[in-house]
Structure 1
Amino acid sequence: MNAREYEDGAGGRPDSLSLFDERDEADGLPEGGTEEAAAGRGRRRRRTRRVLIWTLATLLVLIGGGIGGIYWTAEHYASSVERIPGAFPSVPESAQPKPVPGAGLTFLLVGLDARSDVATTGGQAKAPAWKEGASRSDTMMLMHLSADRRSVSLVSIARDTWVPVPGHGMAKINAAYSWGGPPLMVDTVQKLTGIRIDHVAVIDWNGFKKLTDAVGGVDITIPQTIEAKGDAREWLKGTHHMSGDEALLYVRERHGLPNGDLDRTKRQQNFLRALMIQTMNAGTLGNPGRLTGLLQAVGDVVSVDDRLSNTDLYDLGWSLRGVRPDDVRFMNAPFGGFDSIGGQDVVKLDTAASATLWEAVRNDRMDEYFAQHRTTSDTLGESVR
């Protein structure tokens, strides 16, 4: 699926304003109008459009040294994002969930503690961010972008969630990545949820240190003091301005948290929310040094499937230009309890509640879902341990 497909669907193409669209708004005359009046309106539209185009071009020249420089910069940073070949399962189409036309895009985000790719040689592309048996995925999130690109929903699936892994029987969901990399991970999630995965992104938590430092750090509020336990540090109540190193400690820890991995996933979501707010802050976007550092760090943090071209990345970024932090919602997959199976501590899903959530994602009805479930403990609130 191409990132431009958000424009299709039952609701038609979202309203948009293009500075580069030379089509007239109407071919005919309004009732009671004259040809002279219509010609005047057409001249005003063209004049306004030319003013906007030249204003935009001037800003690009001042900011980036010319339109060619802007294009080169965008191409450079988009090309630096590593592509993962063969990220999708090779199972027959009939064995995969059917895509729902006009229902937005769904990404599978896989978080790792450390990248497993090898160094580049002679300018060649990096190896896939996976080696058989080398590591298990630390974090999994479904990120759904609504068809109108006005909202984003992220649903975390705890790494200890007990699920059927195709070809391996029941296991913790993070084992799928170790056994079969992105294709098996995608196949496992698709069969669990019935949601067609459009794209895959592998995220390196270590790399988030660079992102955090690139935006000047993030503010995280801890509602109550958490005592040190084992290797886990003490966290004092209050708002902390965290550097990259501190933020990494914050998202990795689970010892001392009442609900273990469930609280840990909420910490990760809370960090992403804080990073997003700081990134959208004018102090970051308006500071050339910080913005350049942010763009440079992205390529070190994220790898995406090879179905996403540079043009797709541009289009995707542009389509999300109106999204603000309040338009992004986070939650955990509905919790069904802890258990111990074969000596392993596992997390179980609430099957009925999960089915309702998966249906909402599949049919692009997450706005309705969050309106009905805004008080559930699975959703990310303002207070995160």
Structure 2
Amino acid sequence: MTRRRWLLGLAALVAVVLVAAGAVVTTRLVSRPSPGPVAGSAPPSPSSPAVTTPAPVTSSPTPPPGADLKGPLNLLLVGVDTRVTVPGWEPHADAVLVLHVPAGLGRAYLFSLPRDLVVDIPAYPKAGYPGGRTKLTHAMSYGSRVPGDKLHPSTAQGYELLRTTVSRYTGLRIDAGAVLTFFGFDRLVDALGGVDLYVDQRVASIHRRPDGQYRQHTASGYVGPQMVYEKGTRHLNGWQARDYARQRYIAGGDYARQRHQQQLIRALALKILSQGIARDPDRVEQVVSTLGKTMVYVGGGRRLIDFAYALGGLPPEKFVLVGLPGDGVGSGGSYRGEQLRPVGRQFFAALRGGDPDAFLAANPALRVKN
């Protein structure tokens, strides 16, 4: 497997356009031919005076983009619901995933945080938010508020507050990331021709009918026929992949949904790798343009190509999915949200300490099956 093929596979896993757009430039730079001899030159004739060959220039070549990125790196990928297209609708973080790449950039760990995780969200004066302890999903909502303009919330602001909240909770510095709407996810999957995914349990959709139309919502809940995803390997189109991955009223609840999201992201990467898209710049640009404004990239001042080169050598077999268990918390019988079990917080400490493999070896139940 070539460096460029895995490069675009990583794009689907973390930040989509973050690396995908960079892959276009990467492909062109890597494939650029070396300069040949000067046109029209000829070797000296035997009768000609000896020609002294000049000493080679010893100046250092220009380092590739992102050459100074040695790790560790932490990339934050956020999925928000489709209603961000409705004026005044505040984006909610329905999926929060972090990719941790240790120093040396030789392996990576993808884990999810529950959207209902109870956390301390810091004050954010830019949005007029005073700070408080509530669900993680609200960090995106509160941060997106633009004082004096209720019709145009800022997804970039919401990401900024969510990033700070995740960083403080995990103790990990967030280097870059992206926010992708559900519409954008549908477009990405369809642009790739669908995705093959192993469905690990029977899932009945709350939201969709078998024909893809939305089920009718009444005062007593959703009614009508349901789309059902049976256990086994399935080929899913855009709306099916997203619908399957968003279901949480199933065995295992939101933690099963997190697992399904991770498995889906990995399946997308394998689809991208199998198509060899990174060798076709036009195909990459087609996927990127398909996403359009459904994605917001935040690079912390770094260009897309910097991360593309830095992460280009990551072996796909060194990509590990991690599931962090948790429990519901409440007060007086009322549900407040979720909290991670101690082993989850210990995993963050292992990431910060640079030895997650030893920790996962001692806690094998945290590894998510592909």
TM-score (ref. length: structure 2):
0.64
The SS at the match of 1:207 is: helix
Please show how residues 361-376 of structure 1 align to structure 2 within 5 Å. Answer: 361-373=351-363, 375-376=364-365
Which residue matches 1:46?
none
Which residue matches 1:330?
321
Aligned identity (percent) is 28
Partner amino acid, structure 1, of 2:367: T
* Post-superposition CA distance 1:91-131 (Å, at most 9, x none): xxxxxxxxxx965111222211137479xxxxxxxxxxxx9
The SS at the match of 2:314 is: coil
The question of 1:253 aligning with 2:247 is answered: yes
Give the 3 Å change call, closer, same or farther, for CA 309–288 of structure 1 in structure 2.
closer
Cα pair 1:219 1:240 within 8 Å, conserved: yes
Please show how residues 108-257 of structure 1 align to structure 2 within 5 Å. Answer: 108-114=76-82, 116=84, 134-166=90-122, 167-180=130-143, 181-227=158-204, 233-255=227-249, 257=250
Aligned-partner Cα distance in 2 for 1:275–1:151: 18
Which residue matches 1:360?
350
Please show how residues 58-73 of structure 1 align to structure 2 within 5 Å. Answer: none
The SS at the match of 1:279 is: helix
Cα pair 2:177 2:299 within 8 Å, conserved: no
* Post-superposition CA distance 1:41-98 (Å, at most 9, x none): xxxxxxxxxxxx9994359xxxxxxxxxxxxxxxxxxxxxxxxxxxxxxxxxxxxxxx
Choose from 325, 335, 338 the match for 1:344.
Answer: 335
Give the 3 Å change call, closer, same or farther, for CA 233–363 of structure 1 in structure 2.
same
* Post-superposition CA distance 1:127-183 (Å, at most 9, x none): xxxx98713211112221222122121120010112222344321111111112223
The SS at the match of 2:93 is: coil
Partner amino acid, structure 2, of 1:113: D
Question: RMSD value over aligned CA atoms?
Answer: 3.2
Cα pair 1:103 1:362 within 8 Å, conserved: no
Give the 3 Å change call, closer, same or farther, for CA 365–345 of structure 1 in structure 2.
same
Uncovered stretches (5+) of structure 2, i.e. residues with no partner: 1-27, 35-68, 123-129, 144-157, 207-221
Choose from 278, 281, 286 the match for 1:293.
Answer: 286
Uncovered stretches (5+) of structure 1, i.e. residues with no partner: 1-52, 60-100, 119-130
Give the 3 Å change call, closer, same or farther, for CA 297–324 of structure 1 in structure 2.
farther
Cα pair 1:133 1:179 within 8 Å, conserved: no
Where relative contact order (Cα < 8 A, 6+ residues apart) is larger, the structure is: 2
Shift of 1:325: 3.1
Partner amino acid, structure 1, of 2:72: G
Deviation >6 Å, runs of 4+: none
TM-score (ref. length: structure 1):
0.62
Which residue matches 2:273?
280
Aligned-partner Cα distance in 1 for 2:200–2:352: 34
